[in-house]
Amino acid sequence: MSRRSVRTERRLFLADGPKAVEGALSVDGCVVEVYATPTAVEQHADLLAGATVTVVDDRALASLSDAVSPAGLVALCRHVDAPLARVLDVSARLLAICADVRDPGNAGNVIRTADAAGADAVVLAGRSVDAYNPKTVRSTVGSLFHLPLALEPDPAAAVRAAQQRGLTVLAADGAGEVDLFDADLSGPTAWLFGNEAWGLPDELAALADHRVAIPIHGRAESLNLSTAAAVCLYASARAQRG
Amino acid sequence: MSRRSVRTERRLFLADGPKAVEGALSVDGCVVEVYATPTAVEQHADLLAGATVTVVDDRALASLSDAVSPAGLVALCRHVDAPLARVLDVSARLLAICADVRDPGNAGNVIRTADAAGADAVVLAGRSVDAYNPKTVRSTVGSLFHLPLALEPDPAAAVRAAQQRGLTVLAADGAGEVDLFDADLSGPTAWLFGNEAWGLPDELAALADHRVAIPIHGRAESLNLSTAAAVCLYASARAQRG
């Protein structure tokens, strides 16, 4: 059975390296089994206390791990996403919705940044990259396990659900009518981010309550997607917590 | 002669795609020659007005270009970096100094973000990745040509030079003693960013005027380097221009 079929058919995936394994072990019922080399078992004894660990040799572990320099530690995990309704069924004040984000590094980095900025959840919507792609998982550096994640095929449904829960939806849009640093960001906010290359489709951006632009002071035409997300999420965190 | 030897021995490099070629053409004396397919010549006639263009077929162009989907347009360019003293010999108010940044995507993204945030220059210091690496160039999306760039082997020399020009040097440091959003960022500032994996060496961080931490509200341990740079540079832009 190929690794891909394990991921999609049985809703299992691999978390690679100590930070990811530590994150996975912090989620109840997530880890099926940890595989570790004898060296890693010694080195990460604290992290692995209480976990079911299968000791394997370097070669067996390398066959499981995609990383260039595997740390000798991999966890086989159950998918961690939850239905949109449950992810939103909290007193969420800061949310990141990604529509059609295609690059695994960008998607993972948005999840990591949302975690750092104290967001309540992330929604990967539309035809976004597989959240369990090894590159996505690695780019989250453990944050995949730190905050609720929903996968929603219809981005418009995610926008409407957020609005119904009382969140103001702000579309990050270089052509937006509001300047990020003029916007009132103190209330509960869901940020809507589009695709790396073509941004947000007009009809989706139109569903948002406002379209917000990060000011460009130099000659760059735009910002990288996960960079833009970071500037927006931290502007919200600052306004909400200031 | 391999492409690498062209890059290092003759201080030439390739700028790939319309945004990069447009940027290169905006810098006096930068472009040696533009190579374009007949289709690209037609499609980008405005951009190429006045430029010396050699028309080549798709196959010849593909042999020059590293991009997955080449746009049919490449410029052979002279290196654009300037000596540190000249880069600083302006009334600089916002500077980004990268020490030992190793990932081409991160370095390029910092240059792009610095451009967007209105920074006056970027310094790639220490053993940072080659600024003319095709991946670095591509990640800047043209910004490599938009603001002054210096390459300085000694990061401490870059810090001292910035201080001598009256800039306050702030080291971005997760363990820093000042919270980014409590810091007074209104004056002329040089941000100092470290390596992706190990951050800034203590002795280099100690040379900065302050060590500044981006607040982490969730469970992430840190931010991606270019993400952190974006949050810092935009916090400065907002304070300086607010």
Q: What is the pLDDT of residues A116-172, one digit of tens each?
A: 999 999 999 999 999 999 999 999 999 999 999 999 999 999 999 999 999 999 999
Task: Say what the ipTM of the complex is.
Answer: 0.92
| Separation in Å, CA of A113 to nearest CA in chain B | 6
Considering only residues 157 to 186 of chain B, which have any Cβ-Cβ distance to chain A shorter than 8 Å? 181
pLDDT at A202 over 90: yes
Residue A143: both structure tokens together: 């944050």
Average pLDDT over residues B83-104: 92
| Separation in Å, CA of A241 to nearest CA in chain B | 10
Cα torsion B126, B128, B132, B138: sign: negative
Looking at the complex, does the CB of residue A155 fall below 8 Å from at least one CB of chain B?
Answer: no
| Span B163-177, pLDDT tens digits | 999 999 999 999 999
pLDDT value at residue B68: 55
Q: Tell me which residue in A141, A181, A231 faces B231 most closely, judged by beta carbons.
A: A231
In chain A, what residues touch B105 (CB-CB under 8 Å)? 105
Average pLDDT over residues B137-163: 96
In angstroms, the Cα distances linking B138 to A210, B15, B18, B77, B172 are 32, 8, 11, 14, 25
Average pLDDT over residues B183-194: 97
Q: What is the mean pLDDT of chain B?
A: 92
Using alpha carbons only, give the angle B110, B5, B47 rounded to the nearest 5 degrees. Answer: 55
Burial class (CB in 10 A: 0-12, 13-18, 19+), B181: middle
pLDDT value at residue A95: 97
| Separation in Å, CA of A1 to nearest CA in chain B | 31
Q: Which of B94, B219, B232, B240 to mutate to test the interface with A (most CBs of A within 10 A)?
A: B219
- Name the amino acid, one letter, at A72: G
Q: Nearest residue on chain A to B108, judged by CA atoms?
A: A224
Q: Are B127 and B134 in contact (CB under 8 A)?
A: no
| Span B36-82, pLDDT tens digits | 999 999 999 999 998 889 999 888 888 877 665 578 999 999 999 99
Q: Which of B27, B217, B222 to mutate to test the interface with A (most CBs of A within 10 A)?
A: B217
Kindly determine whether residue B218 and residue A115, on different chains, have CB atoms separated by under 8 Å. yes
Q: Are B95 and B169 in contact (CB under 8 A)?
A: no
Residue A203: both structure tokens together: 């009809």
Tracing tokens 């995609």 back to the chain, one arrives at: A66
Looking at the complex, does the CB of residue B230 fall below 8 Å from at least one CB of chain A?
Answer: yes
**Contacts of A123 by beta carbon, 8 Å cutoff, 6+ apart:** A84, A87, A95, A96, A97, A98, A149, A150, A151, A152, A158
Looking at the complex, does the CB of residue A105 fall below 8 Å from at least one CB of chain B?
Answer: yes
In angstroms, the Cα distances linking A116 to A189, A235, B146, B197, B224 are 16, 13, 31, 17, 10
Q: How far is the C-alpha of A187 from the C-alpha of A165, rounded, in Å?
A: 13
Kindly determine whether residue B223 and residue A105, on different chains, have CB atoms separated by under 8 Å. no
pLDDT value at residue A63: 82
Kindly determine whether residue A118 and residue B217, on different chains, have CB atoms separated by under 8 Å. yes
In chain A, what residues touch B218 (CB-CB under 8 Å)? 114-119, 143, 146-147
Question: Could you give all domains of chain B from N- to C-terminal order, each with its CATH number?
Answer: 3-78 (3.30.1330.30), 84-241 (3.40.1280.10)
- Name the amino acid, one letter, at B163: Q
pLDDT value at residue A60: 84
In angstroms, the Cα distances linking A53 to A69, A115, B202 are 20, 28, 37
Greater confidence (B88 vs A180) lies with: A180
Q: How far is the C-alpha of B165 from the C-alpha of B161, rounded, in Å?
A: 6
Average pLDDT over residues A23-44: 94
Q: Nearest residue on chain B to A241, judged by CA atoms?
A: B217
Least confident of A58-72, A102-116, B30-44, B201-215: A58-72
Q: Nearest residue on chain A to B226, judged by CA atoms?
A: A227
